[in-house]
Amino acid sequence: MKCLNIISITAILSCLISQTAFTKEVNVYSYRKPQLVKPMFEVFTKKTGIAVNAVYAQKGMLERLRNEGNNSPADLIFTVDIGRITNFKTAGLVQAIDSEALNANIPSNFRDPDGFWFGLTSRARVIVVSSERIKKGEISSYEELAQSKWKGRVCTRQGKHPYMAALTASVIATHGSDQAKIWLTGLKNNLARRPQGNDRAQVKAIYSGICDVAVINHYYMVKMLADPEQKKWAESVRIVFPNQENRGTHMNVSGVSMAKFSPNPKEALLLMEFLASREGQRLYAEKNGEYPVNADISPNPLVKSWGNFKQDTLGLGEIANLRESGVRLADEVGYND
């Protein structure tokens, strides 16, 4: 793989040296931040002698792959959220993989039934509440967010954001479209402000007294607690794992797919299988705040301290199929207005 998008002389030399030192390689296109995946790549290289070359991007990866066509150097695609993951499948830019190791290590609800994508870490869509203003047990489910008692007290991202669309899709799968529309309308009516910001911004809004309740991915709590400025935001809220009495907490994933025109498919599959192995999953648990998809591997100590919880086992393939319905419902109820 050529040293793509590198402007630093030091980085260019490092890239060239790595290409000289290793005769085998895997080329990764990644939406995941370097600090989250680079440590695993380094261990893989030490174990196998296979170099991992990574190109990191914030957006535009699908378009890049499409433009490169069968000349693309990409072997693997790393991305987050079931919506983004399945976009690559829908676009015909990834290929199906049949691997006994992947199927054994990754639960069926966290991988594509046809083998086009595999979850590597999972994230819980939790409710966070003000520790001062909300009593324990006062809210316990996503459905309760639509109750009138929360009017003017809830903050969320925009309704069509992939995280919100996936949650709405899970409500559709559980209760049907009509009830999901009623729920989303009720949630909209309870908003303390127009939907805006990322998950951290929702926690900050609770800290600032703008709202009392919000919905976020759990790992943002890990990130905020490690940030000197944001630690006070995180310490102002309490985590609630929703729907423990019925379907369980909605889950999503970060995942990997093999590019359709992968020039190094054997090496790429070895990396996929390593990341899904017990060792790879332990490394993921140590390096970021997400849950391993392998239930036999414990999360990092902070996440583990929050306790065990019941996860929704609804297949993410079904969430992916209903995601557009979730987006349409957000438009129908004018969620972002």
Give ranges for CATH 3.40.190.10 in the chain: 9-122+252-305, 123-250+312-332
pLDDT at 21 over 60: no
CB 170 within 8 A of CB 314: yes
CB 105 within 8 A of CB 143: no
Question: Which whole number is the average pLDDT over 6-25?
Answer: 53
Ranges of H-type helices in 74-230: 82-90, 100-105, 162-175, 177-189, 199-207, 219-225
Chain centroid, CA 34 distance in Å: 15
pLDDT at 17 over 80: no
Instruction: Give one DSSP letter per residue of 169-188, joined into a string.
Output: HHHHHHH-HHHHHHHHHHHH
Question: How far is residue 160's CA from residue 158's CA, in Å, rounded to a whole number?
Answer: 6
Ranges of H-type helices in 28-161: 34-48, 61-68, 82-90, 100-105
Q: For residue 332, give the H/E element and its range.
A: helix 316-332
- Chain segment 263-280, per-residue pLDDT in tens: 999 999 999 999 999 999
Task: Find tokens 């009138």 and name the residue.
Answer: 148
pLDDT at 173 over 70: yes
Question: How far is residue 232's CA from residue 58's CA, in Å, rounded to a whole number?
Answer: 28
Task: Find tokens 């994508």 and name the residue.
Answer: 117
Question: Which whole number is the average pLDDT over 192-198?
Answer: 97
pLDDT at 20 over 50: no
Q: How confident is the model at residue 1 (pLDDT cuts 50, 70, 90)?
A: very low
Chain centroid, CA 208 distance in Å: 27
Mean pLDDT computed over every residue of the chain = 92
Decide if domain 9-122+252-305 falls under CATH 3.10.20.70. no
CATH number, domain 123-250+312-332, options 1.10.3470.10, 3.40.190.10, 3.40.50.1000, 3.30.1490.20: 3.40.190.10
Q: Which stretches of 75-164 are assigned E, i.e. beta strand?
A: 76-80, 94-95, 118-130, 154-155
Residue 73 identity: P
- Chain segment 63-96, per-residue pLDDT in tens: 999 999 999 999 999 998 998 899 999 999 999 9
CB 253 within 8 A of CB 137: no
Question: Which whole number is the average pLDDT over 18-42?
Answer: 81
β-pair partners for 128 = 214, 239
β-pair partners for 254 = 80, 121
Query: Can you read off the two tokens belonging to residue 126?
Result: 């939790």
- Chain segment 92-151, per-residue pLDDT in tens: 999 999 999 999 999 999 999 999 999 999 999 999 999 999 999 999 999 999 999 999
Q: Residue 22's pLDDT is what?
A: 55
Question: How far is residue 267's CA from residue 269's CA, in Å, rounded to a whole number?
Answer: 5
- Between residues 13 and 189, the one the model is more confident about: 189
Instruction: Specify the length of the chain in residues.
Output: 337
Q: First CA to last CA across the chain, in angstroms?
A: 46
